[in-house]
Amino acid sequence: MENEREIIAQKCSNGIGIVEFFEGKNILVTGATGFLAKALIEKMLRTTPNVNKIYLLIRAKDKEAAFHRLTSEIIESKLFKCLEEMHGESYKLFIQSKVVPVVGNIYEPNLGMDIITAQKIAEEIDLIVDSAAITTFNERYDLALDANVNGPCQLMMFARKCKKLKLFMHYSTAYANGGRKGLILEKPFTMGESITNEMITSNNVPSLHAAIELDLVSKLKNKINNNNGLEQNMKDLGLERAKLYGWQDTYSFTKAIGEMIINSMKDEIPILILRPSIITSSYKEPFSGWIQGFRAIDPLVFFYGKGDLPGLLCDPDCLVDVVPVDMVVNATMAAIAKHGYLQSPQLNVYHVASTCVNPVSFSQLFDYSYEYFNSFPFVNSKGDKVEVRKMKYFDKLSDFSNYILEVLSKQHRVQDLSEKELSKIQKRFKRKVEYLKHFSKLYEPYTFYGGWFHVGNMRNLMEEMSEEERRNFEIDASKINWRDYLLGIHLPGVKEHVLEGRKISS
C-alpha cells in the first residue's frame, strides 16, 4: 500500500490527485438510476476514463431487464449526450467496457446478488458509493426504515467482505441534523443520541436505537392484520417517532438512523458521509440546467407559477439551502480521492451546502420566481397566460388557508353554470385547498428552518485542490449568482427536462 501511495504521489505533483485516484479502480454504486448517482457516473466516465469498472446495482427481475434499465435510463439519457459526443460511434462500446449492470437489492443479504457475482465483486471492489434512498418526506415508516436504515446495514455487511475496499462513501442529507438550530457542525451521529436530548436537559426521551424502531414497526404490522389503514398508520408512526426524537419528518429521521448504523458497524472500514442540502439542477456540467424530477423547492415554485400558491406558510427571511448537482458530484469525487488515499479507519462528514458561504432566503427565491414567471408565464389549458402576484408569507396556518381560499375563489368564479356544474367545481376547488394546506404543513419544517450548515471540511478540501482541480471540479458555491442561476438555468431546466414543455392546467 505504501508503494502505491508513493507512485500516486509522484503522479500528482500538487493538489489532491483526483483523476489519478480513480485510475484502475473498481467501484460499486447503489441507487444508480437516481438523480445524483447518475450525474456522478457521468462525471467519472467523462473525466476519469481510466477507471476500470463501475458496477451498478439495479433492481430488476433478471440480467436482461437490468441491461434494459441501464440502456434506457443511463446510456440514452440526455445527461450523457456530452460523453456521447466525445466518443462518437464508439460511445456504446466505451460504456459497455466500463459500466456493468448487476441485478440486486440493497435490502437483502449480499445485496440480493447471486453468490458467484457477490464473491467476484467482493474480491475486486475498491470503492462503494451508496446513493440508494427513499427521499419522500412522509413515506411509510416501514418502507423508509427498509431503504434508509436496513439498506446501509446490508451494505456495511457486504463491505466487510471486500478485501481491497479503500473507502465506503454514503450520501445522507444536511437535514439529517433535524431540529438543530444555529450553526450546525459536521459531526457524526452515534447510536442512542437524539436531537431532543441535545436541546432539552431532561432525560424524558429514551435513547434512540434502530432495533427499537424496527421492533415498533413489526408490532404495528402484526396488530393490523390486513392492509386496511396500514399505510396511514405507518405514515403516522414515522412522523410521531421523528418528532419525539427531534427530527422534522420520516425522511430526515431515517437518514440519521442510517448514519448511526454505518457508524456502529464501521470497525476498520474508512467511511465518508456526504450531506448535501437541497440538490438542484446542474450549474455547468455536463451542461447547465440538467435535472431529473422535481427537487424539494420545485413543487413550491411551480405551484406558485401556476397561480395555485399565491401565499406561503413560511418565514420569508428563512434561508433555503440549495446546491447544484454538479457541485455535489465534484465534492464527492474530491472527498473520495482525499480519503481514499488516506484510508484512515475513521468516519468523516462533509456538509455540501451554501447557507454559510452564499445564503439565499425564501423571499429572494420567490422574488426571482415572480420575475421569471412574469417574463415566461405558463399557459393554461384554455390558452391563457397565467398571471402571478407577489408572494405573501404567513406564520399561521389559519391565516394562510384563509388567504388561499380568498385568492383561489376569485380565480375560479365562473358565471352561467348550472347548479350541478357549480357543485362539481366547488368540490374540486375544496380538494385543491385542502391539498395545499396539507402540502404546506409538510414543508413547514423547512420553510421555518432555524439552522445553517457549517462547511469547514469543504473549505479545507478546496484549499487542498490544485488550480486545475478547482477548475475541473468546481465546488465553490460562493461564486453562484442565485438570480442568474434560478432565472437563467434552474427554472428553464425544470421546464425543459421535467415538464418537457407541457401546458399547465389550473
Which positions are catalytic? 251, 255
CA distance 271 to 267: 10
Residues facing residue 482 across a β-bridge: none
Which of 159, 172, 174, 185 shows the shortest CA–CA distance to 273? 172
CA distance 151 to 167: 17
**Residue type for 494, please?**
V
Cα 287–chain centre separation: 20
CA distance 300 to 306: 10
Residue count of the chain: 506
- Phi, psi dihedrals of residue 56, rounded to the nearest 5°: -110, 115
Provide the angle, in degrees to the nearest 10, between the axes of the packed helices 230-245 and 250-265: 70
Which triple of cell numbers denotes residue 386?
397565467
Sheet of 347-352, strand order:
99-103, 53-58, 26-30, 127-130, 167-171, 271-276, 347-352
Helix-then-strand count for the chain, H and E: 22, 13
CA distance 242 to 42: 35
Element housing 467 (H / E): helix 467-472
CA distance 418 to 426: 12
- Tell me the H-state helices in 113-249: 115-124, 141-145, 151-159, 195-199, 210-223, 230-245
The radius of gyration of the chain from alpha carbons, rounded to an integer in Å, stands at 24
Cα 204–chain centre separation: 33
Q: How many CA atoms lie within 13 A of 33 on its CB side?
A: 17
Which triple of cell numbers denotes residue 12?
500528482
Residue linked to cell 432565472: 487
CB-CB contact of 286 with 242 (8 Å): no
CB-CB contact of 377 with 387 (8 Å): yes
CA distance 317 to 201: 29
Output the CA–CA distances (angstroms, integers) from residue 265 to 114, 455, 463, in the order listed: 24, 26, 31
